[in-house]
Structure 1
């Protein structure tokens, strides 16, 4: 079915944005407490960081299987399964008697998150008319960011009443509500599995057929993910290096996140009207430049200025990866392709903090900032080269 010519973002609210907002708010409530849960079980800071990193590992390992599952059973069924599995994963995090079981529960949560977001992307790629695609994708990214931003506040309130378990209870409630919304939504034509007897291309066949796209734009998307993740790590680390107190670091980080959230719709509008390059290249150039300027930040004012620049760059990239993936995806084997596409992005998200840690351990945090900054400028160059002039 072709999307109606008068389709608006408001019409997508009940089927796409409402469940996504509830889901991301719930999971956002537990994001800050995973490390605290691990240390409460006796883990060292390094081990606790590994436990938190299992979330990303779960996302990476879940991308390709989620694409195959969507191709076979449809988007809504996949999302429902992810929601149903997320609840016991959260209960496992809350009740884990040791660090090993906690890590496994966190990894399962990452797999569920990967399946959820990939199903949304596959659905929107078909259900949204191309002229509205970037705005729809960037709005979805904005809804997720708002949920991730507000979730910790709800979790903090619950923890005031019930300790760490309170954050997990908020997340369980969010996942349960998102599941209920999915069950009550009518099935739509795009939300389907491949009909029985229809030819279904295999995962590896799809990857081979589109290996050039995955080698080129996929590499650029990997760098996008690394840059986005690195800013979340390097800003707090630089604040610690400047001997700023945690409250000041949190405030600076919050300012950056607030600017980031304000730009999701303008970013989508820019891509829809002027092409994908118009937002992608400046966004990565600004993120790279901000990292290069970080060594000049000698106090809270300088760090705030860099954080603002990072917020602008990251905000301009809202929905970018999803939009480029939707543009490049084929009709036959779309879910499998998008699974491979998300794998590229997730690998970047996982590698960004690791790159900072490795370079810092080998040299200094300043060299790490300069390295990531150079990667940002390289990413902008690659996006300018490989994104079609008027991708739609």
Structure 2
């Protein structure tokens, strides 16, 4: 068993600051992905699809990420992921065509998958159970803080260097985050004395199929509910005739609450259990989605965005915490990769579902459907979290 941190302070510059830096890079690049595709001659539809390539890359990266981390360890995996991320961002920065831009974004997604899993696996090892939720929520909150700040730094870079300035900020952020996190050595584990070949994702899925088909379904539904707001709020704002600048401000208010809610949510999870946060998070999102079609102005939509931000914010770190709780001591990294795939799959499917449903019917129906999905996710979490994570939990 690795030595555990009795305080989260030693992780400040090796986990949380790098996470914020990495989030800054993601936030700076997010607004310019579609714009760069448009500059390269893509149609609006193709430009919108290009943005989904990061999510696609992350899903593809989840498949081998567990074996990579199990084989190489957290530190080398971070170095490899950061190097891949640099290559991906450089392709985006200098892409002469849309296909090359898309390839760069997919590589960035692959990097995100390995990078995130390595840090999740590390925190699972070194943070004691009684502080685990706070550690994971702070990690998620640091990423969200960076994603919130990133567009502002990206805007400054765009002013000086053009549309692709956001990618330049991401390049610097990945270098800084990778360097900071690579300084920390791998924790000793029980597996070090008995080396074994890493398990494949299929083998992990077979061994834990009941858990992944039940609690994992809740994780997927939570991913759908959390990711869909990135499509719902701008699309409904446009439906109401709200300007792009105002729509961005509305989204930013909700995003800011993600950061504010991170640590309190982790504290409550450590004290009252994972279900205490997971179920209300999804229930609040469900209510917010079901209310969106009732809004008729920027003001009322802003109120709903605030509610949605609270629902999303209190869920910061809950999926990572649950994953750390249920991960076996043996094949921990491989299992966490399979667990992350459930949530990342939901993040990828959510916005695509909104787009597809809106294409064949009224936008309001698409939004109400996501509200129903979020409510279903709350029910699944309420049913299965106690099955796999009984509370109060006995600590050995």
With the shorter chain as reference, the TM-score category is over 0.9
Q: Which residue of 2 aligns with 1:126?
A: 125
d(CA) in 2 for partners of 1:313, 1:342: 20
The unaligned stretches of length 5 or more in structure 1 are none
Contact kept in structure 2, 1:20 and 1:140, CA below 8 Å: yes
Contact kept in structure 2, 1:276 and 1:391, CA below 8 Å: no
CA offsets 1:227-272 (integer angstroms, 9 cap, x no match): 1110111001000000011121111111111122110011101110
Q: CA offset at residue 11 of structure 1? A: 2.0
The alpha-carbon distance between structure 1 residues 70 and 391, as it changes in their structure 2 partners (threshold 3 A), is farther
CA offsets 1:62-102 (integer angstroms, 9 cap, x no match): 00211110010101110110111111211100111111111
* 2:299 aligned with 1:301: yes
d(CA) in 1 for partners of 2:145, 2:321: 19
Q: Which residue of 2 aligns with 1:87?
A: 86
d(CA) in 2 for partners of 1:299, 1:179: 43
Q: Which residue of 2 aligns with 1:219?
A: 217
SS at match of 1:263: helix
Contact kept in structure 1, 2:117 and 2:337, CA below 8 Å: yes
Contact kept in structure 2, 1:29 and 1:168, CA below 8 Å: yes
CA offsets 1:40-63 (integer angstroms, 9 cap, x no match): 000001101111110000000000
Q: Which residue of 1 aligns with 2:391?
A: 390
SS at match of 1:74: helix
Q: Which residue of 2 aligns with 1:34?
A: 33
Q: Which residue of 2 aligns with 1:65?
A: 64
SS at match of 1:330: coil
Contact kept in structure 2, 1:228 and 1:349, CA below 8 Å: yes
Q: Which residue of 2 aligns with 1:105?
A: 104
Which residue of the other structure, out of 241, 244, 249, is the alignment partner of 1:243? Answer: 241
Q: Which residue of 2 aligns with 1:274?
A: 272
Q: Which residue of 1 aligns with 2:346?
A: 348
Aligned-residue Cα RMSD (Å) equals 1.6
d(CA) in 2 for partners of 1:356, 1:189: 42
SS at match of 1:73: helix
1:160-199 equivalence runs, <5 A: 160-183=159-182, 185-190=183-188, 195=192, 198-199=195-196
Q: Which residue of 2 aligns with 1:231?
A: 229
What is the number of equivalent residue pairs in this alignment?
Answer: 389
The alpha-carbon distance between structure 1 residues 99 and 289, as it changes in their structure 2 partners (threshold 3 A), is same
d(CA) in 1 for partners of 2:380, 2:197: 32
* 2:330 aligned with 1:332: yes
The unaligned stretches of length 5 or more in structure 2 are none
Q: Which residue of 2 aligns with 1:381?
A: 379
The alpha-carbon distance between structure 1 residues 150 and 197, as it changes in their structure 2 partners (threshold 3 A), is same
Q: CA offset at residue 206 of structure 1? A: 2.4
Contact kept in structure 1, 2:21 and 2:177, CA below 8 Å: yes
CA offsets 1:148-184 (integer angstroms, 9 cap, x no match): 111111111011111123222211111112222234x
The normalised TM-score by structure 2 is: 0.95
Contact kept in structure 2, 1:256 and 1:310, CA below 8 Å: yes
The alpha-carbon distance between structure 1 residues 188 and 66, as it changes in their structure 2 partners (threshold 3 A), is closer
CA offsets 1:283-330 (integer angstroms, 9 cap, x no match): 100000100111110111210111111011001100011011111111
SS at match of 1:189: coil
d(CA) in 1 for partners of 2:117, 2:40: 33
d(CA) in 1 for partners of 2:191, 2:38: 46
Q: Which residue of 2 aligns with 1:145?
A: 144
SS at match of 2:329: coil
The normalised TM-score by structure 1 is: 0.96
* 2:9 aligned with 1:10: yes
Q: Which residue of 2 aligns with 1:202?
A: 199
d(CA) in 2 for partners of 1:56, 1:182: 23
Q: CA offset at residue 278 of structure 1? A: 0.6
